Structure 1
Amino acid sequence: MRPSNKVNSEFEFISQRLREAISDSHISQKQIAKNVFVSQSAISSYMHGTSLPALDTLARLCAYLDVSADYILGLKEY
């Protein structure tokens, strides 16, 4: 079964917010991956929208990047 357009747009939105947060942090994907206990390829996958982080990984990413999960998920604009 193919994901719906809504799911695709949500993947794109979340990956865009993650890309922005990672870019704004000026921290390498390798360093982020090391500190949130995932592979560098996982970080790349999140940034390109080919997969989404599990909730525990999202929580670690947000804490490490000092952004709210609400922002990444589009629940808040800041």
Structure 2
Amino acid sequence: MTLETSLSVYHAGCLGFNCVDTSQSAAFSAPAFGTFYRGTPASRRGMNPITKEFIQLPATVRPAFRPGDRLRRGVRRNPRT
């Protein structure tokens, strides 16, 4: 996706996350970039920072990203210093 456009990797990622409709089970795939899909993390224990009381945070649906092979190879070849 970033190879054919002038978008940075960050902005292409934001575009992909905005394209994922979390109410549906479909995934959005961009060839050579990666796949955006629905992630469903389990419920977990959190803490109220003001009262220090432990609370149960419910399971949610969040967009998630799995990078493609070409993106992984490109990142490995061009590490940030």
TM range (shorter): under 0.3
Is the radius of gyration larger for structure 1 or structure 2? 2
Q: Give the number of the structure whose residues are more often helix, by fraction.
A: 1
Higher RCO (Cα < 8 Å, 6 or more apart): 1
